[in-house]
Amino acid sequence: MPVILDQSTGVEREVSESEYQALRNEVRGEARDAVYTERQEGAGSTAVWDCVDGSWTAPLPNEYVHRHYLQKVVARCSACTFTSSFDGDVAKHVEQIRRDLVAHEGARLTEPVSQVGLEPVQTCTGCGAGFRMAGYRGQRHLEQIAEMKRNHGRVELLVMKRFALEPSEPMVLHREVLVDGPVSRQVERIELPQETGKRRRRKRGHRRASRTATMG
């Protein structure tokens, strides 16, 4: 059975032939960046900094860090963490947010409606979605809409390098204003971890992966 490197955990696992072929098809359809097969003796692995999420990745095969990850370019919404491989998707994302905000103008939650044997449900008058009372889910929904409105007052399309070797601001290759409004004070910058002593780039293992499928 094929053995792949799970990029989310950095751990090898066996997959069936059908699952392996499905992963390769995702690469061809650009739903996945790459598939890495069983690691062989080599130069080890290194974690890289995700400039979108503000976190370290799992350790990745060294030979692909520079060849693939540090070359990866994404289009990002400056107001949130939405990213895509295609510039036009950010504009679609912003348009969807605009439609959601229009739909939720003056929205509220209805009085709870009880159902036999079920938990009472509140309905959002903006989108018609139903929310169970537990956990104040309906209220959190409206708060998320309000936060989305605050954060997306001004939006830029950022074409940027996604990964870096160290915690850093992203390398922006191109920017374009999509919504020319006020910059929200609610948007928080990702705080970079404080360095203490040596750099925190993490290396692990003495084996590397061979890439069997790539995007493009």
- The tens place of each residue's pLDDT in the chain, 216 residues long, gives 556 666 555 556 676 777 766 766 665 555 555 544 444 434 588 899 999 999 999 888 888 888 889 999 999 999 999 999 998 999 999 999 999 999 999 999 999 888 777 888 999 999 999 998 888 899 999 999 999 999 999 999 999 999 999 998 889 999 999 988 766 544 434 344 444 444 444 444 444 443 433 333
Q: Are 112 and 120 in contact (CB under 8 A)?
A: yes
Which residues make beta-bridge pairs with 130?
123
Alpha carbons 171 and 164: distance in angstroms, whole number: 9
In total, the chain counts a number of residues equal to 216
| Structure confidence at residue 182 (pLDDT) | 67
The residue with tokens 């997959």 is 15
Alpha carbons 144 and 168: distance in angstroms, whole number: 28
Q: Are 49 and 164 in contact (CB under 8 A)?
A: yes
| Structure confidence at residue 188 (pLDDT) | 39
User: CA 42 → CA 36, 206, 207, distances in Å?
Assistant: 14, 6, 4
Looking at residue 46, its amino acid is: T
| Structure confidence at residue 79 (pLDDT) | 93
The pTM assigned to this predicted structure is 0.61
Question: What angle, rounded to 10 degrees, do the helices at 88-103 and 137-151 form?
Answer: 130
| Structure confidence at residue 37 (pLDDT) | 47
